[in-house]
Structure 1
């Protein structure tokens, strides 16, 4: 564990240095200051859910809400590693206490777990903090992993990954997304797994059923369906702009991965269409506006209801964003070429309801193909999404 501890300390040092000029690093650092002084006291049974960031939280959210419904007397503890999860969900009403996970040191893990003494612990998808895992098991907690996803190149399956394999052996049950993950667990002697699929399918389909209308967008669209660009980065916009500026005649809604004045200004410069910011849409709607820029957070999942097709950002290296949200509304999806770590992307491609592109020319061909076969693709997309739900009920039946 020596090298692991050195790695953890080194990471913390690098974040401290980065916090001088990086706002997210500063949030990461400040959010963990004096954490012991902030911990609440409770006599209830504590059930702890840990998510790396926002995406992992959404995977765990159905299980959190089911558990709370079945056990209203329980104290739900929710921790995040990343500011992009904590800052957006710090006021989530489904948990009794929400905080950043303190750095994974021996003392932090011992103090944190001694305070809460969780009865049950759920790690979501892939984040495994060794000190916390060993200490939780030592204190008698039941340990589960929700929507676990494993790859051959992870440390658990390397010759030097003995401590990480030991950590996995502390878990009482793995709920894995696919057969490949199950096979990898078996290769290191772990058989306590159940193939459930991905809980995000349950989550996004539930969101689609309960979607809230956005009157300002409806007034602007006047019944038209738009091309939705979700969670875009600069690299995405560089291949989108030539096509949209020159060849796309319909309405476009764009929500960047990052909201801020500088980022919004950059987008407005990149696209030559008549544009308007969402926050500036007033009572008098300019229906001539072709591009609507979403310059606030928290509404993208609802915006997809107004689309006919979608482009989802992050596929040029930063990490593909959520393609299931638009798919839940039957929108065929286009994204960049780097998506190996996101199995849902290849599954969508194999189903014929998503397209991976590297150039503007490929992008244009994909959008033209979608437009020509829109109704068939929409029907196929909705059928696939409905068939992919069910993980929530399997896990609920196991841990209730």
Structure 2
């Protein structure tokens, strides 16, 4: 959040006052200055974020470099894996599993930027992983974290580039690697002065393990040293979440709208209720704190809903026909995927870039997405090529596909099996990463 905020402000000032070219040193000075000038605004944003996402005081303190707890084992050599949020934790999961199973004496520190990332990490790995919230890119906060742990290596998942973190870690002789590396469209379209800052930060990275040849070229285009880049594939293909799924308490046939955003819940609920199906529609929003808001929106459409927590507490009976079940607890997606008749991936019918389709694919579920899967281009392309995914261009097409699939068990099973087999073809990705990281 911080680099984005600062760089946006630099960009605004630069458009107002700059000449055609800008020296990298000037950008660094402005960045350090704005970090301090915008401190009150940043602090307010962190407090609001803590409230919205149930982060609590630990989230606030650790984001500013305080309240760290040292590991109990092998504290002389700590491996730090940084994951921005849920998606990056999911990418790192195969490596974390290997570290916990094969190197139990290795002290492992995993950081996230968000409470949702922490909650997902905790649901996947209850023991053996020490978690902290990554400090903001203030030099003093980073130094407090690094002084609290004897960190030997920092593995940054996917796309996080923090100028002060990379600089200070490099000065302390911490080896920095970017794993499952990718760059967003916005990063690639950044102005030249910002690419200069990326280039400077990437010069401190020892290795970049990219997910595709295309991503390799992307990193080279913003100034990364081609000699440091190796293409190993997408680590998310190596994730096997079905191994950690538990049974849910729904107890009746259902389809699931996963990781949804506003207004997907209202639009898709309206379609589902109009179909008059006996199956239950289960909504698992991207942010579970939105559950009450979703219930209100559905109520405005005369659609009745029940919260999953009420089912667990037995304060409400299981939903009946024309009712919607809203998941208001974190960590339920895997169990939902394991038993769903069909999965609609949210964040794809709105401009959010979609969400992880590999998880339901690992359970051999039939998957439908909307048009915007821009954050998962490679995964979407692979599943479409292998006939393991249906991508709709709008809600009208979604309605047509639901009508065609919901009673066609053969078609659903074939779609799900194709998706699962597509994942199984990527057998060498994890061994390649383990070898590259010295874990095999």
214, 222, 235: which one aligns with 1:199: 235
Residue 18 of structure 1: how far off its partner (Å): 4.1
16, 21, 31: which one aligns with 2:43: 16
State the secondary structure of the residue aligned to 2:342: strand
Deviates more, 1:142-151 or 1:23-32: 23-32
Structure 2 unmatched ranges of 5 or more: 1-27
Deviation per CA, 1:92-149, whole angstroms, max 9, x where unpaired?
Answer: 5455532111111223323332332311110011111111112212222222112111
Residue 156 of structure 1: how far off its partner (Å): 9.3
Structure 1 residue 165 and structure 2 residue 199: aligned? yes
Aligned equivalents of 2:390 and 2:38: distance in 1? 36
Paired residue for 2:16? Answer: none
CA contact (8 A) 1:122 1:146 kept: yes
275, 285, 288: which one aligns with 1:256: 285
Aligned equivalents of 1:389 and 1:257: distance in 2? 29
Deviates more, 1:56-65 or 1:38-47: 38-47
Structure 1 residue 62 and structure 2 residue 94: aligned? yes
Deviation per CA, 1:166-208, whole angstroms, max 9, x where unpaired?
Answer: 22122222221111011223443322222222222222xx221
CA contact (8 A) 2:181 2:208 kept: yes
CA contact (8 A) 2:109 2:131 kept: yes
Paired residue for 2:25? Answer: none
State the secondary structure of the residue aligned to 1:213: coil
- Report the CA distance shift for 1:306/1:2 in structure 2 as closer, same or farther (over 3 A): same
Paired residue for 1:190? Answer: 226
Paired residue for 2:151? Answer: 118
State the secondary structure of the residue aligned to 2:118: helix
Aligned equivalents of 2:337 and 2:157: distance in 1? 26
Paired residue for 1:265? Answer: 295
376, 379, 382: which one aligns with 1:342: 376
- Report the CA distance shift for 1:54/1:10 in structure 2 as closer, same or farther (over 3 A): farther
Q: TM-score, normalised to structure 2's length?
A: 0.78
Residue 348 of structure 1: how far off its partner (Å): 2.9
Paired residue for 1:377? Answer: 415
Q: TM-score, normalised to structure 1's length?
A: 0.85
State the secondary structure of the residue aligned to 1:104: coil
Deviates more, 1:33-42 or 1:180-189: 33-42
Deviation per CA, 1:275-315, whole angstroms, max 9, x where unpaired?
Answer: 54333334996584453332322111111111122111112
CA contact (8 A) 2:80 2:110 kept: yes
Residue 369 of structure 1: how far off its partner (Å): 4.2
Structure 1 residue 314 and structure 2 residue 347: aligned? yes
State the secondary structure of the residue aligned to 1:99: strand
Aligned equivalents of 1:122 and 1:195: distance in 2? 16
Paired residue for 2:76? Answer: 44
Aligned equivalents of 2:52 and 2:170: distance in 1? 32
224, 227, 232: which one aligns with 2:260: 232
381, 393, 397: which one aligns with 2:431: 393
- Report the CA distance shift for 1:116/1:276 in structure 2 as closer, same or farther (over 3 A): closer
Deviates more, 1:154-163 or 1:352-361: 154-163
Aligned equivalents of 2:374 and 2:37: distance in 1? 28
Alignment root-mean-square deviation, CA: 3.1
Structure 1 unmatched ranges of 5 or more: none
- Report the CA distance shift for 1:193/1:137 in structure 2 as closer, same or farther (over 3 A): same
Residue 10 of structure 1: how far off its partner (Å): 6.2
Deviates more, 1:26-35 or 1:334-343: 26-35
- Report the CA distance shift for 1:11/1:354 in structure 2 as closer, same or farther (over 3 A): farther
Aligned equivalents of 1:263 and 1:389: distance in 2? 42
- Report the CA distance shift for 1:15/1:250 in structure 2 as closer, same or farther (over 3 A): farther
Aligned equivalents of 1:177 and 1:242: distance in 2? 38
Paired residue for 1:247? Answer: 275
Aligned equivalents of 1:165 and 1:69: distance in 2? 36
